[in-house]
Amino acid sequence: MRAGPVSIPLLGSWEFIQLCWTGGRLEDLCRRLGAKYGPIVFFRIALDTPVVVIRTYDALKVLLADGSKWQHNRKFIIRTLGRLGFNRNKLETLASAECSKLVEDLVELKGQVVNIERDLTGAIANVTLKFIMNFEFESHDPRIGELKEASFHIVRLLANIQSHLDFFPWLAHFSSERSDVKTLARSLDKVSDFIKARIDEHIETLDEAHPRDFIDEYLLQTPKADHDTSIENLLVMLKDLLLGSLEPPPIALSWTILLLAKHPEVQERVRAELTELLGDHRAPTVEDERQCPYTQATIEETLRFVTLTPINRHSTTQGATSLRGYHIPAGAMVLADQHSLHHDPAVWGDPDVFRPDRFLGEDGAKLREQVRAFGFGPRVCLAEAHARSLLFAFLAGLLRRIEFRLPQKGQVATMPVYQVLSRPSETLVVPFPR
């Protein structure tokens, strides 16, 4: 049994051909097919490659066949990162210090319109760099912009190239794809060169008695016999951390601030909870985060409501399998329609309403399991742990001192623009000191 459109031999499903011809978005196609065929959709792309789109959380867990195994692997990775110096308390302390600088800058503006994503990107980049390599940029250092631009190219081009080559393998022989590959390579080289220079500095100045940061902790736990391999692994890990801090956290935090500006009653409730626990100036800790259920719920609701990655490629099936009576052939590409996962009326009731209260209480804890804003997998674990720490620390620091409003009363500046990540069309807000 299958649920999906008819396929044209070698070319794929007609709906997919139309998508390619019109330059439409994959998430829109998945949504249309889902409305017609249900929570599990099959279609074929070029060369008859099968694709299965999963649109419910329960079905996705069954297909991956290792929900508990995945959770076990996730916990193992986080524990390992902790042994390598990934200390959330230290990260949040650094974030609070950097956030204090940002607050002072915003206070000085005295109600002027600001591009909050731009300001957050610089601040969050400094937190990450200080944490992993004891390095920070001076204000308005042009390298922040260069790394941000490189990060944008990497995220966009990796997704585009991978998507095109998955769907049309022969495009690898054409110049436009080669051009994108060259741009991607240059951007990756720029980030890699920056990180390699910092690693070399750490190797030369390492003091075993006084580790300074994540790199030092990693080097101290690296067997000398595996030096080259370990340094290469460190480079990959640092690239994930750095690139992960330059795009998802500033975008997620920008969305949160925009939605709070649009919903002032939610903003005031978050502020009251944070102020009651922390006062006006104390830096938050991991323990504090656990004692701020409404703030946590607001972060979860933002991540659900906007869905940073609307479509997430999970894997390719190694062998034929079945799911709820549906046959899934070997080699099928598995896509998770995360927007549908986060907007299923059967799960959320009123998915198009921004309502943090849904994540409170016992039912809220169960719902929280279904928010997969950062996807699945080991590299995602690293990005998620890092991003969530930054989100809470910056939100706690900003809201106790600043009230955010939209530039014009009633103006809605929260329409998404899909560029791999779902980002706001505008990130303009007006900060008012409290």
Binding site for heme, by residue number, is: 381
Q: How far apart are CA 245 and CA 92, in angstroms?
A: 14
Instruction: Of 142, 140, 137, give the one whose Cα is nearest residue 125.
Output: 137
Print the SS3 string covering 201-269: HHHHHCCCCCCCCHHHHHHHCCCHHHHHHHHHHHHHHHHHHHHHHHCHHHHHHHHHHHHHHHCHHHHHH
Any idea what DSSP says for residue 317?
A: -
Reduce the DSSP state of residue 374 to 3 states and report it.
coil
Which residue numbers belong to the known binding site? 381
Query: Between β-strands 50-54 and 333-337, what pairing exists: parallel, antiparallel or unpaired?
Result: parallel
Q: How far apart are CA 232 and CA 195, in angstroms?
A: 11
What's at 120, amino acid-wise? L
Integer angstrom CA distances of residue 94 from 64, 159, 200, 213, 322 = 37, 31, 23, 12, 48
Q: How far apart are CA 374 and CA 258, in angstroms?
A: 20
Q: How far apart are CA 286 and CA 93, in angstroms?
A: 10
Question: How many CB atoms are closer than 10 A to CB 98?
Answer: 23
Question: How many CB atoms are closer than 10 A to CB 171?
Answer: 15
Find where tokens 């656990």 sit: 290
Print the SS3 string covering 78-126: HHHHHHCCCCHHHHHHHHHHHHHHHHHHHHHHCCCCEEHHHHHHHHHHH
